[in-house]
Amino acid sequence: MSSPQATLPDDQPEHRYNAALADRIETAWQDRWDADGTYETPNPVGPLSEGFAEVADAKKLFVMDMFPYPSGAGLHVGHPLGYIATDVFARYKRMTGFNVLHTMGYDAYGLPAEQHAVATGQHPLINTEANIATMRRQLRRLGLGHDPRRSVSTTDREFLEFTQRIFLRIFNSWYDPTAVNRLGGPGRARPISELLESYRTGGRRSADGRPWAELSEQEQRSLIDAQRLVYVADVPVNWCPGLGTIVANEEVTADGRSDRGNFPVFKRNMRQWLMRITAYADRLVDDLDLVSWPEPVRLMQRNWIGRSVGARVRFTTAAGDIEVFTTRPDTLFGATFMVLSPEHPMVDALTAESQKSAVDAYRSAAASKTDIDRQDEGRAKTGVALGASATNPVNGEQIPIWIADYVLMGYGTGAIMAVPSGDQRDFEFARQFGLPIVATIAPPQAWFDTQGVEPSLDTAAWKQAYTGDGPVVQSQNTTLVLDGMNKAEAVAATITWLQQHGHGAATVQTKLRDWLFSRQRYWGEPFPIVYDDYGPVALPDAMLPVDLPETDQFAPRSFDANDSASEPERPLDRLAEWKHVTLDLGDGSGARALVRETNVMPQWAGSCTYYLRYIDPTHVESLSVEENQRYWMGENGVDLYVGGVEHAVLHLLYSRFWHKVLFDLEEVHTPEPFGRLFNQGYIQAPAFTDQRGIYVEASEVTEHGGQFMHDGQPVKREFGKIGKSLKNMVSPDEMYQAYGADTLRLYEMSMGPLEQSKPWDTRAVSGSLRLLQRIWRVVVDETSGEVRVTDAQPTTPDLRALHSTIAGVRDSMDALRLNTPIARITELTNHLTSTYPAGAPSVLAEPLVLMVAPFAPHLAEELWMRLGHTQSLVREPFPILDPSMLVSDTVAVPVQINGKLRTVLTVAAGSTGAQLEAAALADERVSSALVGRTIKKVVVVPGKMVNLVVG
């Protein structure tokens, strides 16, 4: 693509606003802002409280960006989109009287730094700190108004201590579903000491009913540990011996191998740390009503948690009870068979001798199938009968038990009752294998009509299952009569009956699973946990932080790639002196030999609660100072949180979970961390592929007559997310050099709606530079450098232009519609430059400068100073709208005939409907169009429009 004009001709006016001048202005103002502490925001109390008295009456505003991972590649122009938007918003809010907290941190634990360390043998901290320094430089050059004192990294020692401290709060808690929480709803986390006390005093007993005192120490510890919000359990994971770590589903290829290294991956159970996020499933769903977030994100979280209300039903078999989960207990009389997942633990016990070989074959076929294979199978149902039956609790019928891979072990109980008349998958399965289909809900006439089928309860003619509502039929026994009820009534009646007869109970099922919290890596937060003979023990807060020990071996131990039984050996396992310690935990046991936990926390840990660090960045004695936290979090938490939609589920769900635990423990005081969320779009850029389909460096591609060429060869243009992988990076550094930071800021904000993805076009940046040049010329003479504003009085059209701009800008800022205010500012600028080519009245130039300040702060500060002000404009009041200035003597009123525009009348403001109608009819273009036609109706909206309906 064409490269930006880095230099401009030599003979341009000496004081023209160009890249070189912008660079001088921007650098100077950045230095002055730093020196003056312009963006330092005071806390109510503590070390950062200086100056708070001056803003004590202002409203607070806490603005946050999703903090970045400090990548080695530095920034590209896609990164700052959200950062500029929050900065524009924060600057606008400062100018409208808010005390604004805005800073930026770094989410610096993570895999790329570890892999770099493995490759180079250099400690990841060295590389991480260098990357942070680069990003800080690039962001500072952008002129972001961040409080530098609050800029933290998750790897800072104080931050590490903070993260470990929160971990211990969660570890030392359990979830009491019967307790009333601070919002008055059911369920809250309570200190583990209260659970212990309840056992000690006899309020609770072990599962087998023995009192606390009769339990062994091991039994006591296990009983408590099993109920913590952080616990150890065997869970199915993707174990990759070749890498020596567990890998995520998305890192496993379709043929069951690791993304990196292409090693085999084995699904097996392994002891892992988990966080009990499922305890909060209901509140995580319900409290989405408390936040103003984009509806799609709330929907994604609801779907991810996947709450469905239904019942558990027990079916008896010769080998014991099988429990199923169903959302449709009302259709129980239509359950004509049962399907287990191939991995269900009771399959072996239920399989008849005659079916053994078929079942084994099906099971191994299902196990070896990849997701891709299953997908290719399309809709055809497969399965094998076990040769056993179960008793349907409502009618005593013996129904056959099958296994099929459409039933998943990971959801519900891994077993379903199949109701083919009311579930399409069960219907297809029944048709495939000739199983009975019994209708229990009578479909309406309309349904049969759309099917083209004669209405009948004889399902032989049905083409598909009926999943809708309708009167229940064929559903009664001696103690339960559902016939005639609707769906909701029948669900309730069935659940009551199941409970009374001991066959089941109402339950809520979620898709959400507990959060796997341990990683077999080096570059993460160590757990503040040691083990004694009975299990894990929390370190006391006074022993925090647990620092990462020094080493130069950062990779986990890898094993023979096929050794599926191998056990992970983590980097910290090799550090025997660190791992084996003698400590006095202060619990009365004295100094004793203990073993440290050698897993580390996942990268999510650091991003869960970093907003609390921004509030009190140096504080370590507790999570934060309550007065500061209550001030900044207010009623609704962070006032604006901006980031990419890719974090819609995981980060935001984990963060909400931790916050809710801390809320229950009265460490924080809002039910939700982020009151308002905004997702910015991506910046996309052209990317080019050669004839082999390989990406080529986009900056080296040239265009000749509509044909894109690279290295003499034609290449194909695509569009994609800007970045390294598509070789279409555009660095902000290039933009600073060619245009200046203010132009880059203005361009990114003017590209289009913030939430939309949009293509980068370096050529179009010049339009933003030209606007800033015109604003510059409103104030400064390009040749002499003299300030050229005048004392002239503004005219009525001037004031109308000014105030319509004020109205347009103010209207859009709160909603983060940041592209249209720039258009309004452009209009005002064009009005001033064409009306006053030799210098505009200062009463117009000053508000123009103030309005552009959030977008182009350096330029605005410079002009403000040249206009004679000695104070920074950062806290100068934003121009205020005088609505009377928008009132005009005349208005333009469109006249339509049959809805089509015919003319526009200029009439006196406040004309009545009758006057408008008369004026319209008197218009020549209207009357000529009306020749030979009759007016049937006249619609007049006074001040707005006239529409003549003619025959």
Nearest to 107 by CA among 514, 454, 488, 608: 608
Among residues 67, 42, 38, which one has the least CA distance to residue 145? Answer: 38
Between 489 and 703, CB nearer to RNA: 703
Q: At what angle do helices 820-835 and 796-813 cross, to 10 degrees?
A: 160
* Cα–Cα dist 664/490, whole Å: 37
**Distance between CA 315 and CA 322 in Å, rounded?**
5
Give 769 or 885: the residue with its C-beta nearer to RNA: 769
- Smallest gap from Cβ 418 to RNA, in A, equals 8
User: Please, what sign has the CA dihedral across residues 633, 635, 637, 641?
Assistant: negative
The tokens for 502 are 């001991």
State in angstroms the smallest separation of the CB of 133 from RNA. 32
How many Å separate Cα 517 from the centre of its chain? 19
Query: Least distance from C-beta 72 to RNA, angstroms?
Result: 23
Q: Look at residues 287, 509, 500 and name the one whose alpha carbon lies nearest to residue 415.
A: 509
CB 120 within 8 A of CB 850: no
Task: Confirm if 204 and 584 have CB atoms less than 8 A apart.
Answer: no
Residue number, 139 or 751, with CB nearest to RNA: 751
In the complex with RNA, the residue whose CB is nearer, 585 or 822, is: 822
Two tokens, residue 341: 């997942």
| Nearer CB in complex with RNA: 292/589 | 292
- Amino acid occupying residue 566: S
Nearer to RNA, 412 or 675 (CB): 412
CA–CA gap between residue 253 and residue 264 (Å, rounded): 10
Rg of the chain over Cα atoms, rounded to whole angstroms, equals: 35
- Residue 257: CA atoms inside 13 Å, Cβ hemisphere, count? 9
Minimum distance from residue 581 beta carbon to RNA (Å): 41
3-state class (DSSP) for residue 240: strand
Torsion sign (Cα): 845, 851, 857, 861: positive
The CA distance from 748 to 760, in Å, is 9
Token representation of residue 736: 């600073």
Instruction: Round to whole Å and give the CA distance between 130 and 152.
Output: 15
Residue 74 beta carbon to RNA: minimum distance, rounded to whole angstroms:
24
Q: Where are the alpha helices (DSSP H) in 239-309?
A: 281-286, 295-305
Question: Strand runs (DSSP E) across 347-480, as ranges?
Answer: 384-391, 398-403, 415-418
Q: What string of H, E and C letters represents the secondary structure of 863-897?
A: HHHHCCCCCCCCCCCCCCCCHHHHCCCEEEEEEEE
For residue 750, the SS3 value is helix
Smallest gap from Cβ 765 to RNA, in A, equals 8
Q: Cα separation of 861 and 424, whole Å? A: 66
- Shortest Å, Cβ 172 to RNA: 32
Count the neighbouring beta carbons within 10 Å of the beta carbon of residue 648: 21
Inter-residue contact 276 to 229 (CB < 8 Å)? yes
User: Looking at residue 350, what DSSP letter applies?
Assistant: H
DSSP secondary-structure letter at 68? P
Instruction: Report the alpha-carbon distance of residue 862 to residue 873 in Å, rounded.
Output: 10
Distances (CA, A) of 583 to 370, 450, 587, 758, 826: 49, 75, 11, 57, 68
Secondary structure letter of residue 249 according to DSSP: G
DSSP alpha helix (H) spans, 484-625 = 487-500, 576-579, 604-608, 610-615
Q: Which two tokens stand for residue 171?
A: 């570890």
Of the candidates 295, 340, 290, 300, which has an alpha carbon nearest to the alpha carbon of residue 317? 340
Burial-class residue 4 by CB neighbours within 10 Å (0-12, 13-18, 19+). middle
Least distance (Å) from RNA to the CB of residue 884? 20
**Smaller CB separation from RNA, 351 or 826:** 826
Task: Work out the end-to-end distance of the chain between its first and last CA atoms, rounded to an integer number of angstroms.
Answer: 57
Nearer to RNA (CB atom), residue 198 or residue 820:
820
Identify the DSSP state of 520: S
| 716/817 with CB nearer RNA | 817
Nearer to RNA, 191 or 752 (CB): 752
Any alpha helices (H) in 636-723, and if so which ranges? Answer: 650-664
- Report residue 839 as tokens: 């210098």
Work out how close the CB of 747 gets to RNA at its nearest, in angstroms, rounded to a whole number: 8
Task: Return the number of the residue (147 or 343) whose C-beta is nearest RNA.
Answer: 343
Is the preceding omega at residue 455 within 30 degrees of 0, hence cis? no
Question: Least CB distance from residue 830 to RNA, whole Å?
Answer: 5
